[in-house]
Chain A
Amino acid sequence: MTVLMKMLGFSVLLILAFAGVTYVLPQMEGAAPEEIEVDVGALTMETFVAMGERLYQGQGTCALCHNELGRAPDLLAFNVTSASLERLADPRYRGDASDVEAYLRESMLNPSQFVVAGFGTKGSNDTESPMPAIDKPPAQLSELEIDAIIAYLQDKDGNPVTVALPVEADDTQVDVEPAMPVAAQSPEAALAKYGCAACHSILDSVTTLGPNLNDIADRQEPHQIRNSIVNPGAVVDEDYFVVMPEFANMTIGELEMIVEFLAMQTGEQS
């Protein structure tokens, strides 16, 4: 029995030690895309581009390969519009597009029409792309979603967006990562919606990546808080980088809710 207990104790300790390793690693959850109805009529070009960016990073899984690791051209590292024009003029181009917008759409629907040198499927001599058609599973993007990504790719380098805003009267179902423009109903929900707690200590979050917001009212007036959200680069604490994004699709109501909530966060209170 002693041997049994010793073996058991040793094994349990070892098992718990392995479990402990998973506790010290970053904790992330990969949510499945949710179908959210987008009111097409209410879309502005700004929100359409923002939607394209979210699709690029999320449901479209573009950023999985198009990044600095070199598996596919890093689309964020160069001017996509200029590069598209060069590729349209390339003798290896086999597609039917005649402008940038059509080229970008074609490269998502039929990626093998032009394969950037060095990025083709192994053994295909850069005639076949390993990229799956974006309108097929697993990404399965709709026409509207593809347009949104094109708008984002054009807009990110300051080029004019040629994609027309969708004009269908009916609401359209769009698969996006949870976070589409559905206004938050409480300051807590708004903070969660915009991921503030990922970098700032606020509510239950404890992190040193961004300034602590639990005592923000001791340091800033409401108008300064509002200014920091609307224009994160305006005033930056010397201990921090400007990594905070601009929240283009934040509603005025949400902004005011957050400002009002943060304006009450004093060190005494926490």
Chain B
Amino acid sequence: MKLDWRYWSQRSCRYLPLVLTMAIIGLCNTGLLSTAHAQAPEADQLGSLVEAGEVGDESAASLLPAPSPQRSDYPTIGVSSRGIVWVVAQMHLFFGALVLAVPIFVLVIELIGFKTGDDRYDDMAHEFMKVSLTAYAITALFGGTLALSLFLLYPDLMTYLMRAFGSQVLVYAGLFFLESMLLYIYYYGWNALRYGNRKWIHLTLGLLLNVVGSTLLFVANSWTTFMMAPSGVDPATGAIIGNIWEVMKGPLWNPLNLHRFIANVAFGGAVVGAYAAFKFLSAKNLEEKAHYDWMGYSSNFISILAFLPLPFAGYWLMAEIYAYSQQMGILAMGGILAWLFVVQAVLICTILLAGNFYLWTGMARSEGSERYRWAIKYIATVLILGFLVWVTPHNVIYTASEMIRLGGGNHPVLGPLGIMPAKNIAVFLMLLCTFLSFQLYRRADKVITVSWQDWGNALMACIYIVAIANIIFAGIYYGYFTNTVYKVGSSVIQVMSTVVVIVSGVVIDTLMFKGAKNLHVSWGKVSDRSQYALFALPITFTWLMALMGYVRSSVRTHWHVYTVMQDNSPDNFIPTLQTVGNMVTLVTLLFLAFLLFIFWIANLSGTRQLPPLAAARSPAMAGSGT
């Protein structure tokens, strides 16, 4: 029997991604496990084992209690240590989020391009990677600076963390090398591995890049969640008693992994969307405008699609925080940090308004959009009402005469809007509205031809009506007419109703779009204002990430590692909201400056100076982009 090597090589290439992914996961696991501490005995046995000399010096070292540094033990360099670490860590997180997120959706876009044979997708994915690649070096620089800052300014904390995580940090470093190699091969090998079987190799590299990148993210997350909810330690002394796996898999690890993974995709999509907007506004001809308009649309699509499930992941994280420590949860949601959620409301509403505005203006690209334009004013009304409800605070500091006129501490009408049930109703209705805008946008350039389209539309409308009724009923009934305990339970109904709409909407639309007639879409014919909406997204996302990162970190209050290692540094207090606002503004401005630098660099790489002779002949063209 003669083997058809071309057939077999083609088949093997298709399975290559799976095989290599399994291999790398296996390698990572082996690496992690091999660095694990020896299986620790039960905590209550440890003391007696040490006394009996059955635990060696090395194991005994792991029984050291958590350090308890006094204020004088913290090095001072004349500037707030927390301020330095705050800025550097946040910058590292911004860029880390970007470089880990972009390859995720780039791989999906590349696969779509490969399957459809449309080179535009491939080119767009490649251009997205260009932005990510420039950001990669900056990520590493901030990462290195962060590590040095921490070792310099918080030596006791780092000693303790090193003891807890041991050589896992070397696995992290190894993964970082692997990530770098894969990233460079993936980017620079793009055109060399563009078609046929070679494309499968390239796709495999992309998959591996994402597997390694996500593993890096999860490993780093374990450090963060260990500080919030330490596991594998003796609660009384902070001594490390678990192996590396027990230290890593704290109660908040997976919720944070999911939340950051989704948030990174939304953030990455928004940043490359800003790049597209920048290029669109700088474009000199319609062809360029059309390309970057389409690129901006795709980025916004990715960003908003990832953003929609984000509140559910956030809900899970917060629920786990409450389950781990009710005090910690209440401090975040009902204590001194609670006011920051008013700022969060402003930010998320800005994201939703900007995202919706972009979709509405973008609908103008297709003449088919006229069928749906009437709905925009209703969606906008719900969004604005939702925004107003969301930002209504529960308690306001009134003067005595105002309190007399109000007849109490809360406004009789607006007071009930200040509590969570009202805000939940607002949030979930806003999410539904955003999804509706998204659905209308997708339908704007299509004429559905399936025979059951009336039934399909009726079903979709019914799902919306039932979901809206559910959200409002659950919010009002459980929020205002039952015990507090049931208030949290009502959110589950609201979450599920929203998820059902999103999932069924995607499924029904996908089925209805089969065989649909596509109307002409005039890419590039979109207002400049829409591009500013596109630019508003990453700015707001950045502010939001910095703010919520601060809240997550601050719930530890005066603990480096919650309940086991106290923070006695001069900065161990929760600062005022103004200070937080200033710090978040500072890091966002810094990120913006670096971002514009990246856009400029990415643009510069496509610029070629003309030879002196040609430049002399055509002075107007000298220095122009190719």
Q: A residues bordering B, Cβ < 8 Å?
A: 3-4, 6-8, 10-12, 14-16, 18-23, 25-33, 61, 64-65, 69-71, 118, 130-132, 136-139, 208-210, 239-241
Contacts and interface: CB of A to CB of B under 8 A. Distances in A.
Nearest to B326: A130
B155 interface: no
Contacts of A69: 334, 484
Interface string B549-569: 000000001110011100100
A36 to B, nearest CB: 14
Contact of A136 (B235, B330, B576): B235
Interface stretch (B18-26, B138-146, B398-406, B470-478): B398-406
B86 interface: no
9 contacts: A4-B278, A4-B596, A19-B582, A22-B581, A26-B397, A64-B327, A65-B330, A69-B334, A138-B559
A14 B484 contact: no
A94 B399 CA distance: 48
B397 A15 contact: no
B578 A22 contact: yes
B577 A22 contact: yes
Contacts of B596: 4, 7-8
B272 to A, nearest CB: 15
B30 to A, nearest CB: 36
B584 interface: yes
B343 A30 contact: no
B281 interface: yes
B325 interface: yes
Contacts of B539: 11, 14-15
B592 interface: yes
B278 A7 contact: yes
Contacts of A28: 336, 339, 576-577
B72 interface: no
Contacts, number: 140
Given A7-B535, A28-B339, A64-B335, 20 more contacts: A6-B281, A11-B592, A15-B543, A15-B585, A15-B588, A20-B581, A22-B580, A22-B584, A23-B577, A25-B343, A27-B576, A28-B577, A30-B573, A33-B558, A132-B327, A136-B235, A137-B564, A138-B327, A139-B327, A241-B403
B572 A32 contact: yes
Interface string B373-417: 000000000000000000000000101110110000000000000
Contacts of B578: 22-23, 27
Contact of B589 (A12, A21, A31, A239): A12
A157 B572 CA distance: 36
Contacts of A210: 400
B276 interface: no
Contacts of A65: 326-327, 330
B400 A31 contact: no
Contact of A25 (B282, B331, B339, B563): B339
B101 interface: no
A18 B343 contact: yes
Residue with the greatest number of chain B CB neighbours at <10 A, chosen from A14, A139, A240: A14
B282 A30 contact: no
Nearest to A33: B558
Given A3-B278, A25-B339, A33-B558, A71 B484 contact: yes
B500 interface: no
